[in-house]
Structure 1
Amino acid sequence: MTLAGLGSIILSSAADPYRKAINNDDTENLANSIQNLVVSSSSPDLDTFDLKKLYWNCFIPSEYYDTYYTNLDEEVAFFLDSYSTTACAVLRASFLPRGGSVTVADIGCGPVPIYAAAATAHLGAPAQICLADMLPQNRVALRCWRTGESTALDWSTFFERIATAYPSGRFDVVMSTLCLEFATSSAEEYRGSVARLASFVADGGFLFMAGALDNTHYVLGTSDYPSVALSEDTVRGAIDDCRLQCLEFKTLPRTTDPKTKPADHSGVFFVVARKVTHQ
């Protein structure tokens, strides 16, 4: 299963933080290159249970927000604090000395812009942020957030002006939060998805991932969404397979009530890895 239809929105933190659009060319080329590489599956189980169709037909951004983001719980705060402190510190040390801006791609961001914002909020330098998600309804939600409108806007002209900002298709930072474990159906597929994310990281760049541990499903409305139950070893192994250097791996045991956050995870994690250039 290729997650077809992945689109992207480019935001800039240089002037009007996270909202001012950057005009570039060939956005659709960037979207297509990501959609063909991020997640795929050869699992025969998906013939009878189409994970893509479940999300495409049933996922409602407002329902997701009401269920999982009405309150700033400790787990979300953990992600935000980790991006704001650990991730920003790594970026400042690595990229600020060279000058210029930092390019960040948040893959599978859903309707949620806060994590990419947190990862670049305290850089003290311009950041170019690409928010990418396969679901049209999530992209609509992001566009509405960006413009402060209640209705979707046609970004087709803007999408045609993106890719020149990223001619190599590589980013200084690639990040993904609560995505890959829910977009794959086995640990093997998860490892393959991490490898495809890593392929977008420039030499010397970073991969940030945050997600759920031991989670098998989560509930949204009347739908039950499956998940690959990740262990720390599984995530570390996926990073090692990509020949990335794991710089930090943080975990937080579950602190939220399953009744208010209907998922069965045992905890959450945040990891920082770097693509080291071998001579």
Structure 2
Amino acid sequence: MNEFAVYQAFDPLDYLKTYYTVIGSEGDGMLRFLAETFSALPANLRVLEYGGGPTIIGMISAATRAASMDFCDYVDSNRALVQRWLSGDEQDFDWNPFLARALEFEGIEAPTNEQVGERAALMRRVVHNVLPGDIYAMPPAPVEGRYDVVMSHFCLDAVTREKAQWQENIRNLCTLLQPGGTLILSSLREAHFPEEGKRAFPNVYLQEEDVRETLESVGFPAESIRIVSADADNTDRDYTGIILSSSVAL
């Protein structure tokens, strides 16, 4: 079931203050996984980040392998915030600690401010479009052709409470991935958000095996699937951790 309605009142800055004020186990896990994943890929890729929310961290390591990259999200205010950063306006939120941490995972010890600035400049060069997207539409984004890499972080699992619909969301997203392309997904592990109140966001309950089994059922070869988990930053979260996966399409 489509549960997008709750996101009409989504506050991107409140979200960033809640989940991105410090780099904890979740941020470290995601930045490390993306650094490792993109380091193993060739250069000159066409990359799509789908449902990126108000964050840019998915694009940090991706920029090292991208000839071009598009960013897509359903929420207008999320796209506006990301577009401002891409345009050079960094007043909304300080992403530099995340850029520096990603550089560390890429093998740069004690990144300098200059190196952080160079990565930000690279990201701004390779991101060509900031677009709307709706995973319940077909096509799910207003783009032409398919991508070498499609990544979606905490999106496909966050617009439904039903596992069957989450699986269908993955199938829909894969229509944007070319044969032989890489799909990168991040999902919450064992999410249990309340159904009422400020934190009442939809999220399907997932464990690592759910991700593996679904990727195989969609058609990704078992040997191409890599899954890594990271525990939640603290026990106050409405989930126990995050599940990170990469897989290669036939």
Q: TM-score, normalised by structure 2?
A: 0.73
Match of 2:47 in 1: 104
Whole-Å separation in 2 of the counterparts to 1:212 and 1:134: 19
Match of 1:239 in 2: 215
For the residue of structure 2 that corresponds to 1:217, the secondary structure is coil
Match of 2:149 in 1: 173
Structure 1 residues 167 and 133, CA gap change in structure 2 (3 angstroms): closer
Match of 2:231 in 1: 254
Largest Rg, 1 or 2: 1
Match of 1:73 in 2: 24
Aligned match for 2:172, one of 191, 196, 206 = 196
Whole-Å separation in 1 of the counterparts to 2:83 and 2:206: 31
Higher percent of residues as strand: 1
Structure 1 residues 256 and 234, CA gap change in structure 2 (3 angstroms): same
For the residue of structure 2 that corresponds to 1:225, the secondary structure is coil
Whole-Å separation in 1 of the counterparts to 2:130 and 2:63: 22
Shift of 1:212: 1.4
Cα pair 1:248 1:272 within 8 Å, conserved: yes
Shift of 1:255: 4.5
Q: Kindly report which structure 2 residues correspond to 1:150-161, keeping only aligned pairs within 5 A, or say none.
A: none
Whole-Å separation in 2 of the counterparts to 1:184 and 1:139: 21
Query: Cα deviations across residues 20-68 of structure 1 (Å, max 9, x unaligned)?
Result: xxxxxxxxxxxxxxxxxxxxx3xxxx6xxxx322111x21110010000
Greater relative CO (CA pairs within 8 A, separation 6+): 1
Shift of 1:253: 4.6
Cα pair 1:244 1:274 within 8 Å, conserved: yes
Q: Kindly report which structure 2 residues correspond to 1:44-59, keeping only aligned pairs within 5 A, or say none.
A: 51-56=3-8, 58-59=9-10
Shift of 1:167: 3.7
Whole-Å separation in 1 of the counterparts to 2:14 and 2:186: 22
Query: Cα deviations across residues 178-219 of structure 1 (Å, max 9, x unaligned)?
Result: 111111220000000011111111011110111211112279
Match of 1:119 in 2: 62
Structure 1 residues 136 and 105, CA gap change in structure 2 (3 angstroms): same
Cα pair 2:47 2:68 within 8 Å, conserved: yes
For the residue of structure 1 that corresponds to 2:150, the secondary structure is strand
Match of 2:111 in 1: none
Work out whether 1:137 is the aligned partner of 2:113: no
Shift of 1:249: 2.8
Q: What is the aligned-residue RMSD (CA, Å)?
A: 2.5
Match of 2:115 in 1: none
Cα pair 1:87 1:272 within 8 Å, conserved: no
Work out whether 1:267 is the aligned partner of 2:241: yes
For the residue of structure 1 that corresponds to 2:179, the secondary structure is strand
Cα pair 1:254 1:265 within 8 Å, conserved: no
Cα pair 2:229 2:241 within 8 Å, conserved: yes
Structure 1 residues 253 and 202, CA gap change in structure 2 (3 angstroms): closer
Which runs of 5 or more structure 1 residues have no equivalent in the other structure?
Answer: 1-40, 152-157, 161-165
Of all paired residues, the percent bearing the same amino acid is 23
Shift of 1:72: 0.9
Match of 1:8 in 2: none
Cα pair 1:201 1:207 within 8 Å, conserved: yes
Whole-Å separation in 2 of the counterparts to 1:179 and 1:104: 17
Whole-Å separation in 2 of the counterparts to 1:72 and 1:111: 16
Work out whether 1:63 is the aligned partner of 2:37: no
Cα pair 2:29 2:230 within 8 Å, conserved: no
Structure 1 residues 229 and 88, CA gap change in structure 2 (3 angstroms): same
Whole-Å separation in 1 of the counterparts to 2:130 and 2:244: 31
Match of 1:7 in 2: none
| Large movers: runs of 4+ above 6 Å | none
Which runs of 5 or more structure 2 residues have no equivalent in the other structure?
Answer: 93-128, 132-142
Structure 1 residues 159 and 105, CA gap change in structure 2 (3 angstroms): closer
Q: TM-score, normalised by structure 1?
A: 0.65
